[in-house]
Structure 1
């Protein structure tokens, strides 16, 4: 069952300007060390990488049903990538608490995230799914 859906569109040039103006202060307030290493390691796409992660955090907060309020911090949501390149959303702190609260008993929450960019835009979609735990009505065995 779908628990929440969120999307966001970020302007890469706007993120680039914020990075130029606020640099490390902005990066450290919004992005985890892992996210920063990923972005800074992409010499030709630093701002686009940050913009996609910004959009993912916004989309995740919307899927959680709160937006960026009610105690959710930017770094409570973080994007990493599998070896295949597939993005994965991790939640901690208040975002993890909210996710647990919205997940029905007998289910586990799975966060799906997809990212894309086409200069000057970066976009993210987040879908939060509740899957039955094995033995909790899961007909797959």
Structure 2
């Protein structure tokens, strides 16, 4: 699991990102590409959480869209500066989404903020 960043009180918004994806697109990618798709896009913790669900596709889709929104908020998209595995969406005790970053993602967050 990737730990969420420590955000100082009064931290600023560095960007806003929004994304949506059809669950059927994720389901199709899972059917066509299987573990190669999963390993490219989702961390082991995300895969463990989603694969434990009766219908994992909506859970993968939510994480996919959240990661896309983060890349948009950073203004980088996905590439050398920020990759799919540099952000991780997990759930807190009440089911709330928690966003964590790899060291590379954390460095980008600090550089932007």
TM-score between the two structures when normalised by the length of structure 2: 0.85
- The count of aligned residue pairs is 102
Match of 1:24 among 12, 35, 40: 35
CA deviation after TM superposition for structure 1 residue 91, in Å: 1.1
Rg larger for: 1
Aligned-pair distance for 1:70? 4.0
Structure 1: unaligned runs, 5 residues or longer: 104-141
Q: Residue 3 of structure 1: SS of its match in structure 2?
A: coil
Q: Structure 1 length as normaliser, TM-score?
A: 0.69
> Which residue does the alignment assign to 1:46?
56
Runs of 4+ in 1 over 3 A off after TM superposition: none
Higher helix share: 2
Query: What's the CA shift string for 1:65-88, capped at 9, x where partnerless?
Result: 211134211010000100100001
Task: Show structure 2 runs of 5+ residues with no match.
Answer: 1-11
RMSD of Structure 2 on Structure 1 (CA): 1.1
Richer in strand (by share): 1
